[in-house]
Amino acid sequence: MPDSQGTTLHPRPVLAGAAGASAAAEADSPAVEFRDIDIAYGKFVAVRDFSLSIRKGSFVTLLGPSGCGKTTILRSIAGLVDISDGQIMIDGRRVDDIPIYKRNIGLVFQSYALFPHKNVFDNVAFGLKYRNVPKPEITRKVGKALEMVRLPGSEKKLPSQLSGGQQQRIALARAIVFEPQVLLLDEPLSALDANMREEMRVEIKKIQKETGITAIFVTHDQEEALSMSDRIVVMNAGAVEQIGTPQEVYDTPATAFVADFLGKANMLAGTVSRSGQAVVLASSQTITVACSRPLAEGSKVTVVVRPQKFSVGAAVSANRLSGRVVSASYLGGSAIYDIDIGGKTNLRVNAPITGRVLREGEAIDLGFDPEGCVLLDEDGRRIS
């Protein structure tokens, strides 16, 4: 199964040949592979047929609601959960059948999991001491890791003397200090306040790029996934719904689940009219859609339009909808409108403010381009 960037989800065969070709193939080989993974607890299957190939040095996010299997997958590569079937590979070596202590993996937990009785130095140095690194080298590496997370000179402090954001930085330093092959981050920002979460997003991404480490991030927060990831794996009920760049999964969702889960899309049910590219909505208003193939007259479809795709007022667009403002929320440079367009259909519109904020009950005209929407079939899958 290829992802939207053409990356195969199974390894390519290496042909015998010159040493240069072999070296090139090795450099291009995935850092991490999940091959047809199943994870079951008795009769309950938590993850089924999960396959994924992750490039070296990339930042990949597993995104989905609680219970979708994303954390289970992360824990399986760490060796904290046994897989029922399939293989997990790191740099071409199978790891699912070796003990956890032999896997060179850094892990940052949601709860930080710092040793409360140990100072910062000993917390960060824990993995190095376990690996029998010489003391002078431990001191050097710990100092370098603390510099990287912007907490130099904090070696003698206890975790209780640190803020939540500082504790998270120490947990990150401990995870990267021994230069792991893969960095696993299990919802590491969920315990922080909004401002600190935003700051830590930038810090984690910066450190990941500086070190070149391959990172797998788990979250249910769409904004975190969109702002931090090179690729996003959207999961639902233990299976993959879509893999792609943040822009791909947001702008061109593959399924109704992805469209609804990621970014509060407007889902407009309609019926294809005789023209084949026109859709009559429940409100009896007609819109035109862009599709690479003719649509069967009378077929049921769903038109997905993101809140930001609408223009408000006199701007000319191929599609125009009329309605009334149900509610308005002022956000500074923009406003969120809830619009009743009839047929028991309300739209969510995020529009820049060019004058005043419209009031409840006011009439409103909306416009959007056919290319600005995605069309789903009756089964909730994108129509190409």
Average pLDDT of span 169-192: 93
Class of the CATH domain delimited by 19-104+180-258: alpha beta
Q: What is the model's pLDDT at position 27?
A: 52
The yes-or-no verdict on residue 316 having pLDDT over 90 is no
The yes-or-no verdict on residue 71 having pLDDT over 70 is yes
Determine the residue type at 3: D
In sequence order, which residues have a C-beta less than 8 Å from that of residue 159 and are 6 or more positions away?
112, 114, 115, 116, 120, 123, 167, 170
100 vs 201: CA distance, rounded Å = 28
Average pLDDT of span 251-279: 91
Backbone angles phi, psi at 132, to 5 degrees: 60, 40
Q: Are 125 and 146 in contact (CB under 8 A)?
A: no
Q: What is the model's pLDDT at position 14?
A: 36
Beta-strand relationship, 266-272 and 214-219: unpaired
**What is 266-376's CATH number?**
2.40.50.140
Q: What tokens does 245 get? A: 């760049």
Please report, for the chain, the start and end positions of each structural domain, with discontinuous segments joined by +: 19-104+180-258, 266-376
Average pLDDT of span 60-69: 95
CA distances from 251 to 4, 23, 263, 377, 378 (A): 13, 37, 10, 17, 20
Q: Are 9 and 3 in contact (CB under 8 A)?
A: yes
Q: What is the pTM of this model?
A: 0.87
Closest alpha carbon to 244 in 87, 382, 96, 109 = 382
Q: What is the model's pLDDT at position 13?
A: 35
Confidence of residue 332 (pLDDT cuts 50, 70, 90): confident
Beta-strand relationship, 44-54 and 85-90: unpaired
Closest alpha carbon to 175 in 210, 137, 127 = 127
Exposure b/e, 372-384, CB count within 10 A at least 16 = b: bbbbbeeebebee
The yes-or-no verdict on residue 306 having pLDDT over 90 is yes
381: left (phi over 0), alpha (psi -120 to 50) or beta: beta
The yes-or-no verdict on residue 110 having pLDDT over 50 is yes
211: left (phi over 0), alpha (psi -120 to 50) or beta: alpha
Q: What is the model's pLDDT at position 318?
A: 81
